[in-house]
Amino acid sequence: MQHPAVPDLTHTHTRPIHWVATATALAGVVALSSVLQPDAATAAQTPVPETKHAPAHGTPPDPAAVAFPLECGPVEAVVVKKASGDLDGDGRPETVAVVHCDAPMGTPPDGVYVVTRGADGGKPRVVAALVNPKDRRTVTDFAVRGGAVHATLLGYSSADVPSCCPDVTDDVKWRWENGSFVRDTPSQARTV
């Protein structure tokens, strides 16, 4: 006697009553899940590791009150990004501003400037240029955290690369050390 390769599964043929039973069971599960909700989640924030920089006290300087060292011709310089924090550990916040000329077309190169105000609370002033617009860089990601300035810079591998199409990406960080900002490149430049 030979057995078929596939057993007879006549009991597996679906009938309309099977679909009704399945739909009813699914509706019951959905209804029950809406009644039995878990308790609200509670989360505690993990403490941030302490840095050697003191917490910043006072109002950060407003970059809108500063004349940036840009040659913009007939258009104005515009602050496109800004972030504040105590970069030099003196307890007073500095503001780092990403600035470029407000060109009507294209993507003008960015400058990155550190703005501070004296201990007497005087007028804000530029104290450092971290990125010069003449370097033809565009700033994408940008933040001040842990007493350092972090940025992603888009640039060009040569003067032959068109301005529309940057082909190099640098992740950089500047930290105040021994009276000046020192640039650190955590990762090597990447070609886009």
In whole angstroms, what is the distance from residue 38 CA to residue 41 CA?
8
- Establish if 120 belongs to a structural domain: yes
Beta bridge partners of 170: 153
Mean pLDDT of 5-17: 54
Structure tokens at 9: 């599964």
Position 137 in a domain: yes
Strands 125-131 and 148-155: unpaired
In tens, the pLDDT along 18-65 reads: 556 666 765 655 555 555 554 443 334 333 333 344 455 678 999 999
CA atoms within 13 A on the CB side of 56: 20
For the whole model, what pTM was predicted?
Answer: 0.67
Q: Is residue 102 part of a domain?
A: yes
Over residues 101-139, the pLDDT tens digits come to 998 887 889 999 999 987 677 889 999 999 999 999 999
Is 56 part of any domain? no
Q: What's the confidence (pLDDT) of residue 134?
A: 92
Structural domains of the chain, count: 1
Query: Which residue has better confidence, 124 or 9?
Result: 124
Residue 4 lies in a domain: no
Average pLDDT, the chain: 78
Q: What proportion of the chain, given as a percentage, has pLDDT over 70?
A: 65
Question: What is residue 84's predicted lDDT score, i.e. its pLDDT?
Answer: 96
CA separation for the pair 181, 122 (Å, rounded): 22
In a domain, 144, yes or no: yes
Domain span at 107: 63-184
In a domain, 158, yes or no: yes
Q: Is 22 inside any structural domain?
A: no
